[in-house]
Amino acid sequence: MDNNAKVAVLGASGGIGQPLSLLLKNSPLVSRLTLYDIAHTPGVAADLSHIETRAVVKGYLGPEQLPDCLKGCDVVVIPAGVPRKPGMTRDDLFNTNATIVATLTAACAQHCPEAMICIIANPVNSTIPITAEVFKKHGVYNPNKIFGVTTLDIVRANTFVAELKSLDPARVNVPVIGGHAGKTIIPLISQCTPKVDFPQDQLTTLIGRIQEAGTEVVKAKAGAGSATLSMAYAGARFVFSLVDAMNGKEGVVECAFVKSQETDCSYFSTPLLLGKKGIEKNLGIGKISSFEEKMVAEAMAELKASIKKGEDFVKSMK
Ligand SMILES: NC(=O)c1ccc[n+]([C@@H]2O[C@H](COP(=O)([O-])OP(=O)(O)OC[C@H]3O[C@@H](n4cnc5c(N)ncnc54)[C@H](O)[C@@H]3O)[C@@H](O)[C@H]2O)c1
């Protein structure tokens, strides 16, 4: 596949979809970029197609054009769905986004069952179980190829730690495990490279800020949506890591919310070694502090409930 990744973005006209598509179009790793949405894709695709990079861009509008958008894809990224407004939790998006994700992933299962599926649409803690159940229904489920994109939590943790310690954020790496909502977001500051130390009160504030960083943006945007530009960056970072690994690069590690046997929760985010066929090895939680162990224990009930909600949703579908 060397530098010839065929990538589809579903929800490509949205706040995340447009800048994410721009970053993908700007990459030498991508040779074909297919953009799907229920609105505005002809314009977005025409606009991006004038950029002087190799990736061929094409827009697809409405459900009857979705199959052609997906055929032959190596990677599908899904930021389609409604974002939060002030006062909403990610779970408040469930009713709308569950149907959108189930519909779009059913089309993936039919038209590009071998592709890597990267879900951005919230609530990620439920949309990943939804995707897995949809793929199972179609008999094409491969847990190594379905990823809940939590990269923005890592990006934020890196940025905030760098700010506090006056480091270059590009050189900071904080693994973030668990899920992608409130207290299920568990930054492992004890595993940060370079090693950093904080007094307990500062650590608690830092972790709280990472967990609520999405809400910080929702409040600042005051009704105009949630994180879009930083999410586009994070989504592109995840796709580039995945494509690098698919191209044979070794030692590529990213955290993502995936099917997991690392805890007694059936889906969990941990650092993953990526390879040609998706997850090559789950690197697990590793050694963590007692404070972090407590956070993991406290996240379990909410995570399990969100997972069950997603699974039940697909089971109840006709
Ligand atoms: N994983 C994360 O860290 C993270 C971070 C930020 C936002 N999000 C989530 O990403 C999603 C998108 O956010 P946004 O700010 O881009 O929203 P947005 O409203 O700006 O864009 C959503 C896009 O999805 C499209 N869409 C709606 N239904 C569709 C369907 N059935 N098929 C195809 N496209 C459809 C809309 O037309 C729109 O263009 C939200 O669910 C949000 O909560 C996730």
- Give the per-residue pLDDT at 1: 61
- Give the per-residue pLDDT at 3: 81
Q: Output the six-digit token pair for 173.
A: 């790496």
CA–centroid distance, 278 to ligand 1, in Å, is: 24
pLDDT tens profile 32-62? 999 999 999 999 999 999 999 999 999 999 9
Q: Are 127 and 206 in contact (CB under 8 A)?
A: no
pLDDT tens profile 1-37? 668 999 999 999 999 999 999 999 999 999 999 999 9
Q: Output the six-digit token pair for 135.
A: 């793929």
CA–centroid distance, 55 to ligand 1, in Å, is: 23
Query: Which protein residues are within 6 Å of ligand 1, measured from CB?
Result: 10-11, 13-17, 37-39, 79-84, 93, 97, 100, 103-104, 120-122, 124, 149, 152, 180, 225-228, 231
Please give the Cα distance from 244 to 275 (Å, whole number).
Answer: 8
The tens place of each residue's pLDDT in the chain, 318 residues long, gives: 668 999 999 999 999 999 999 999 999 999 999 999 999 999 999 999 999 999 999 999 999 999 999 999 999 999 999 999 899 999 999 999 999 999 999 999 999 999 999 999 999 999 999 999 999 999 999 999 999 999 999 999 999 999 999 999 999 999 999 999 999 999 999 999 999 999 999 999 999 999 999 999 999 999 999 999 999 999 999 999 999 999 999 999 999 999 999 999 999 999 999 999 999 999 999 999 999 999 999 999 999 999 999 999 999 997
Judge whether 180 counts as a catalytic residue. yes
Residue 33: other Cβ atoms inside 10 A? 25
The DSSP secondary structure of 222-253, one letter per residue, reads TTS-S--HHHHHHHHHHHHHHHHHHTT-SS-E
Please state the atom number of ligand 1 nearest to the C-alpha of residue 226. 15
CA–centroid distance, 119 to ligand 1, in Å, is: 10
Please give the Cα distance from 32 to 238 (Å, whole number).
Answer: 17
Q: Whose CA is nearest to atom 43 of ligand 1?
A: 83
Q: Which of 70, 82, 217 to mutate to test the pocket of ligand 1 (most atoms within 8 A of CB)?
A: 82
- Give the per-residue pLDDT at 6: 98
Please state the atom number of ligand 1 nearest to the C-alpha of residue 63. 32
For 292, what's the count of Cα atoms within 13 Å in the CB-facing half-sphere?
18
Q: Are 90 and 81 in contact (CB under 8 A)?
A: no
Please give the Cα distance from 66 to 8 (Å, whole number).
Answer: 10
